[in-house]
Amino acid sequence: MITRLGVPTTSSMSPPPTAASGLNAAALRTGLPACDPAGDTGRMPLEITDQIRRHLTEDPLAWLTTVTPSGRPAPRPIWFIWDGSTVTIYSLNNSAKLRHIEANDQVSLHFNPGPDGNDVVVIAGRARVLAEAPLPSQRPDLTAKYKDRVERMGQTTQWWDTNYSTAIQVNLERAWTIPG
């Protein structure tokens, strides 16, 4: 028996995976899902495909989903920076997501799909609050991406530093995609 997208099946009951099924190249090679929702079929190495790289480098917004103490998913829109291996998010100080991560470090990042509902990327990983992170305005990569947005909101980089000084680092582990 194998597991595809968290649903047990046997190879005689389901056709082999294809790119159209939404599995990435690693999943196509192994027959296992790239993102294991059940968490019990072993770790898949994260393959940064061109599609994933494009979302990580070009998208201005993603959704960070944390888990509440009662086990409910809690998605929140976030600004983020990818450094080639991890994602850094600056959170509103004292936000609920910080308490969620403290209790359960498992998170997912979701990127908005294309207008036709394709080009879907969901990345699972583990998050941690960084104790000694620079302020948002001290990150050239972050200010290049978001300073204009902060100003269009009628705010300053001082406001950003004061209210969003808590950095979260997400180590990316698995991804699930539907090609665009």
Full DSSP string of 55-97 = HHHH-S-EEEEEE-TTS-EEEEEE-EEE-SSEEEEEEPTT-HH
- pLDDT one-digit tens code per residue, 153-178: 999 999 999 999 999 999 999 999 99
Domain 48-178 has CATH 2.30.110.10: yes
Query: In a 10 Å sphere around its CB, with 0-12 CB exposed, 13-18 middle and 19+ buried, how is residue 175 labelled?
Result: buried
Strand order in the sheet with 106-111: 73-78, 62-67, 106-111, 120-130, 166-178, 86-91, 80-82
Within 10 Å of residue 168's Cβ, how many Cβ atoms? Answer: 23
Backbone dihedral region for residue 42 (phi beyond 0: left; psi -120 to 50: alpha; all else: beta): left
Return the domain boundaries, the chain. 1-45, 48-178
Mean per-residue pLDDT over the chain, rounded: 82
The DSSP code for 147 is: H
Nearest to 5 by CA among 30, 51, 37, 49: 37
Examine the pLDDT at 179 and tell me if it is beyond 80.
yes
pLDDT at residue 8 in the model: 35
CB 57, CB 135: distance < 8 Å: no
pLDDT at residue 46 in the model: 87
Of 23 and 30, the structure prediction assigns the larger pLDDT to 23
Measured over the CA atoms of residue 158, residue 63, residue 75 and residue 97, the dihedral's sign is: negative
Under the banding of pLDDT at 50, 70 and 90, the label for residue 1 is: very low
DSSP three-state, residue 7 = strand
- pLDDT one-digit tens code per residue, 95-105: 999 999 999 99
Under the banding of pLDDT at 50, 70 and 90, the label for residue 42 is: low
The DSSP code for 18 is: -
pLDDT at residue 113 in the model: 95
